[in-house]
Amino acid sequence: MLESKREVEDWVYQNFDIPSATKIEILDNLEIVVHGDLQNYTGLDISVLPVVFKQVLGWCFLGSMGLESLHGSPRECKSFQCSGNYLSRLKGGPLKIITGDYICSFNDLVSLKGLPLVIPGNLICHQNPLKTLEGFPSKVGGKVILTYKTDLPLLRTLAASTVEFDDYRDSLEEEDTVAEILNRYAGQGKRAMFDCQKALEDAGFSENARW
């Protein structure tokens, strides 16, 4: 980790595209508050951040930079993007998304543990080898996008307003049928779980009809 405010400030400006109107505040404990958007430069390749962001009051983009851990990520930001890394878990990521999306596609995630309890916008988590949706938020204000698998439990997605699957398909017909059933009950959460479970089981998707 870096040891002075000057070292922290220099590292941030060297490795992130900071708009001229954005203020960077380095606190006495060396945590960083970004009063605006934060986006890493292309080509940055590190397994873990050597600094700690406390807040990013705009969009926080930490995509395709080789990260294996989200340690040092902001605890709060407007929207968060960490796609294209080598993340096997989301621990250390934001605990609060202010108004926007959480995007964690194209990683190595096997569960969604570490997500905030509420995501006001969309949750985009496709192209991960998910085995469970444990950690799925209690509410997703927008849609969830994930990759369909015949053995993936999907009832937790009912916390989202809409459920979509990406174009990397096990089976087009199966995927469309499952999406249609889920979207009958989407946005209703646990209240609709048993009805949705029965509908999936009746259609032959008992593996998807799990929490």
Mean pLDDT score of the chain? 95
pLDDT number for residue 168: 67
pLDDT number for residue 42: 74
Task: Please provide the DSSP assignment of 99-117 as one string.
Answer: SS-EE--SS--SS-TT--S
Residues 6+ apart with CB under 8 A from 123: 101, 102, 115, 137, 140, 142, 143, 144, 145, 160
Question: Does the predicted TM-score (pTM) go above 0.75?
Answer: yes
Position 169 pLDDT exceeds 90:
no
pLDDT tier, 44 (very low <50, low <70, confident <90, very high otherwise): confident
pLDDT number for residue 1: 73
Give the tokens for residue 11.
């590292």
**Quick one: average pLDDT of 144-169?**
93
Give the tokens for residue 125.
């988590």
Nearest to 155 by CA among 201, 109, 124, 116: 201
Position 194 pLDDT exceeds 80:
yes
d(CA 103, CA 143) in angstroms, rounded, equals: 12
Q: In three state form, how does the secondary structure of 129-177 look?
A: CCCCCCCCCCEEEEEEEECCCCCCCCHHHHHEEEEEECCCCCCHHHHHH
Better pLDDT: 93 or 174: 93
Nearest to 64 by CA among 98, 39, 29: 39
**146 within 8 A of 177, measured Cβ to Cβ:** no
- Rounded to the nearest 10 degrees, how much is the dihedral formed by the CA atoms of 183, 137, 64, 8? 150
**Tens digits of per-residue pLDDT, 126-151?**
999 999 999 999 999 999 999 999 99
CA distances, 101 to each of 30, 107, 110, 143, 169 (Å): 27, 17, 20, 10, 24
